[in-house]
Structure 1
Amino acid sequence: MKQQKRNIFGLALASITIVISLVAAVTGYLLPDQLMNNLETLQLDQLPQIQSEVLPLQLIIVGNLILTIVALLFYVSAIRNAGESQVIYIDRHSDEDNSEEIIASEEQHRTYWDSGLVERIFNESNQLKEGLEKVLHKLCKELEAGQGALYLIEEQEEIKKAIFQAGYAFSVGESSKFEIEQGDGIIGQCIKEGQAYNLNKIPEGYIRILSGLGESNPTALAVLPILSEGQVLGVVEIASFTAFTSQDIDFINHVLNQLVEQLPKPAALAKS
């Protein structure tokens, strides 16, 4: 605002200087004729009259010179201050300039979950599935995901299966038991290899065929194993309509590392 006022003042000053210069030029052009008319009958006692004719031009020229100097000094000062103090505001949602905001947001997430949130959730839950539901719901909301599913591993005759335990915007019904064998689809491969999958370009219908997330058609899918000392205890599957960043994947792993402490071993789960 101050800079804008200075620019307006400078423009006004420059305009005044130009007008005065025009007046001085016109006056200077007409002065010879005025002097010649007076000199025809010039007497010594008329010298003050000549001086009075010249004085306006002198004052105009001196005033114009002073204003010009002031205007030049003003603009030099304005240019210098603009280079030192001008602030440029950038859109906070710019892909290139919001790294500090992303880092701050990640720190908030990390502090929120580092405060023992997962442990408190399970302490307040009556059953394992209830605790898993609450953790999955909070995780999906943090990521603004569309759907999510959490599976725990059962071993039956040396065959590992992912048994559905909790869902976010997804359910298989209380009377149904949804399971995926090792090696089947993305979840089965995750069980077999203990490897995470981050798919950010999924054709329509791909998730419906190869995952347990039903009829939805999100564009991004993250499937991560829940690992304990190299052993796969479970799998979490989260779908979204926006791509998962590397920071998102790190955050999911951070939460899953806390969840491990609350999970039974696959053999114990099979007996329950």
Structure 2
Amino acid sequence: MKRGFTIRQKILLGFFALIFIFGGYGLYNIFILNQNSAIIQNIQKVVDPSFDAIKDFKLLVERSQRLTIGWIYTPQTKEEKDQLKAIQDIEYPKLKENLQNLMKNWSDTSQIAKIDSVFKDFEGFIQLQKKDVMEKILSVQDQEGEMILNMTILVEDRINPQAKNIIGKLDKIEQYKRQEKEKAQNNLLNSSRNLTIQIIVLIVIVIVIGVAVAFTLTANIVQPITYINKVISQLSKGELPEDKRTRFRRDEIGEIASSVDNLIRGLRSTSEFADAIGQGLFRKEFQPLSDKDVLGNALIRMRDNLEKVAEQDSIRNWKAEGVSKFADLLRQYSENLDELADQIISNLVKKLGANQGGLFIVTKEGEEEYLRLAACYAWDKKKYLEQKVYRGDGLTGQAWQEQASIYLTEVPNNYVTITSGLGHTNPRSILIVPLKANEQVFGVVEIASITEIEPYKREFVEQIAESIASTIFTVQNRQETERLLNESRNFAEQMKAQEELLRQNVEALQLAQEEMERNNLLTMERETILQSTHMVFRLSRKFTVNEVNELASNLLYYAPEELIGMNIAEIFSKESVFEEMKITISRNEFWSGITTVKAKGGDEVLVKITAGSLGTGMGNINKYIIFMDNINEIRLLQN
């Protein structure tokens, strides 16, 4: 028990207490007066100027609206136009600056947000004035016809509604400021009334305290002495007296009685604590009598050591049980990778006492490697269904890349959300452990919890991670082997079918080759006959000669190189016949007719012409072909 006052000091303390009460009340009155002064100052420097500035703002909006409508409908003098510009460029910025300075002392942030909204609306209104009115109506001539009709629509649909909206918002703010002013004045009046009442109450309290102090100081000291005598007698017999929670005065005698009482409580608490330790209840609260309490501190050290040993045993048993359970799971579900992943993550989340979890497995498609969500427990699976986690992407990809565990207690917002019956919340901790075996990562486990994950639980996850990775590797190898075996079987069947198809194709190809050789022979024979009996011209798209046979060169007395590059129209005697032929064969139709062509010496040769298109095959430079039969001798015989 802390040493109190002597009886003499208590008497002096009573009088000093009265002095202190009066002094304290005087300070309190000064505080109230300063508070009232602050209220008055706030009304004068903030509330009233803000109220007046908002009224000025309303008048400014109304003037701006009136001048804008006047700009549209009536001829404006330079002075009136300057007034509108002054509102936009001088008066409004000055008013805004004044209000912003006053807003620094506003206590209601919602009103600040509202006035900021009004600033934004009015600045939009100014932009509307400049862009749609002031820049379009520059003279009296602009106030006619379709322009004035458009401006009327603008006034009705935008200018008047926007101005009305701004004024309406300012009315509400003005009303709030009026109420704020009235409230401040009422607070000032109430404070003055309360001060009067408090003076009366203080007088009554001082009287009561004075009487109580007088009776207290004159009370006898027999009770604590009697108590001390009784307790010491029981302690001498080895008994612990009943704790009646007796209160003692904090004077010399009261201090002795209180120390004895504390000794009794300390002995009783020490006895109960020793019994609890014997029963294995290590969480029982115990407070030593002091830092030098030999018995109490020794019991605490014993309790801590026993508790640490018990906790270590519990952790070892917990880990051993978990390792055994997961070993059974890895053996039991080693046939199907997805089923294995489901069992691992659901049992792991439950074992850790976490809330959510996901198991990612390294998947390879060609040269591309990524993590896919193979299984999850209470996880937002949609987040991962349409995306792949690549090496280094996010926390999961980072753990994969660095092959090291990641433990976070400061989880970014919206990283993952835990859903419960009470709603949605962010996890308190995130544990990401790579599933690594032989320095190769086969997957990643991610655990989310609304509480922190203890170190021994994190060690447990890292301990079983290698076993899980080895099992995943084994299952993947088995599945890959089965897949390759099936592919091998399918490939063998396909090869057998392809061999049969190839044999059939070879036979068909041999038949086709024999037929093609026969056709080529016939074609060569026909070509030889044509070359020996007809003049043959092969032409380009522009009807210039690309190829000519020897018979044509001989009958027309041209050297072959003279005909090559010549436009075929030059040897036609009649241009109309050439044009008719040209139009016909340009439409991919055949043309035939009898006409005369000119030889090199100018002689005309009567010929029968058959012409057509060759098509547009790849690499074919010849577009048209012309066959000419010399019927000049036949005509001579007929004559």
TM-score (norm 2): 0.27
Whether the 8 Å CA contact 2:322–2:351 is kept in 1: the answer is no
Residue 73 of structure 1 corresponds to 236
RMSD: 4.0
Moved over 6 A (4+): 76-79
Listed as ranges, the matches of 1:186-265 within 5 Å are: 186-207=395-416, 217-264=426-473
In the superposition, relative to structure 1, how do residues 220 and 16 fare at CA in structure 2: closer, same or farther (>3 Å)? closer
How far is the alpha carbon of 1:87 from its aligned partner?
3.9
Q: Does 1:91 align with 2:91?
A: no
Whether the aligned pair in 1 keeps the contact of 2:337 and 2:476 (CA below 8 Å) is no
Deviations along 1:161-207, one digit per CA (max 9) or x if unpaired, are: 1111111112637xx46531111101111111111100012143234
Q: CA deviation at 1:268?
A: 4.5
CA drift of 1:256 comes to: 1.5
Aligned residues of 2:361 and 2:444 also touching (Cα < 8 A): yes
Please tell me whether the aligned partners of residues 358 and 377 of structure 2 are also in contact (alpha carbons under 8 angstroms): yes
Deviations 1:72-120 (A, max 9, x none): 63259998xx49x724255369xx96645542332222221333x3342
Instruction: Give the conservation status (yes or no) of the 8 Å contact 2:357–2:448.
Output: yes
Kept in 2, the 8 Å contact 1:122–1:128? The answer is no
Q: 1:190 to 1:158 in 2, by over 3 A?
A: farther
Partner-residue secondary structure (3-state), 1:165:
strand
> Match for residue 93 of structure 2?
none
Query: 1:6 is matched with which residue?
Result: none
Residue 326 of structure 2: aligned partner: 118
Letter in 2 for 1:73: S
CA distance in 1, matches of 2:271, 2:477: 66
Other-structure match for 2:392 = 183
Q: Distance in 2 between matches of 1:244 and 1:13?
A: 53
Q: Which has the higher helix share?
A: 2
- Distance in 1 between residues matched to 2:381 and 2:240, nearest whole Å: 72
| Structure 1 residue 158 displacement after superposition | 4.2
Hey, what's the Cα distance between the residues in 1 that align with 2:284 and 2:398?
Answer: 39
Aligned to 2:511: none
Contact 1:155 1:267 in 2 (8 A): no
Worse overlay, 163-172 or 225-234: 163-172
The CA distance in 1 between the partners of 2:392 and 2:474, in whole Å, is: 20
Deviation of residue 159 (structure 1)?
3.7
Farther-moved stretch of structure 1 (134-143 vs 119-128) = 119-128
Residues 147 and 170 of structure 1 are in contact (CA less than 8 Å); yes or no, is this contact kept in structure 2? yes
CA contact (8 A) 2:443 2:469 kept: no
Structure 1 partner of 2:198:
none
Number of residue pairs aligned between Structure 1 and Structure 2? 199
Query: CA–CA distance in 1 between the matches of 2:449 and 2:235?
Result: 60
Structure 2: distance between partners of 1:239 and 1:77:
53
Q: 2:356 matched to which residue of 1?
A: 147
Inter-CA distance 243–101: structure 2 relative to 1 (3 Å threshold): farther
In 1: Cα distance, 2:347 partner to 2:381 partner: 20
**Structure (1 or 2) with the larger CA radius of gyration:** 2
Distance 1:158 1:270, change over 3 A: farther
CA distance in 1, matches of 2:387, 2:478: 15
Which letter does structure 1 place at the counterpart of 2:454?
Answer: T
Distance 1:16 1:243 in 2: 50
**Cα distance, 1:266–1:110 mapped onto 2, change above 3 Å:** closer
For 1:26-175, what aligned pairs fall within 5 Å after superposition?
Answer: 73-74=236-237, 82=267, 86-88=271-273, 91=283, 99-100=308-309, 102-115=311-324, 117-125=325-333, 126-170=335-379, 172=381
Q: Which runs of 5+ in 2 are unaligned?
A: 1-225, 242-262, 277-281, 286-302, 418-423, 484-639
Alpha-carbon deviations, 1:126-147, whole Å to 9, x = none? 5221122112111111111110
TM value normalised by structure 1? 0.59
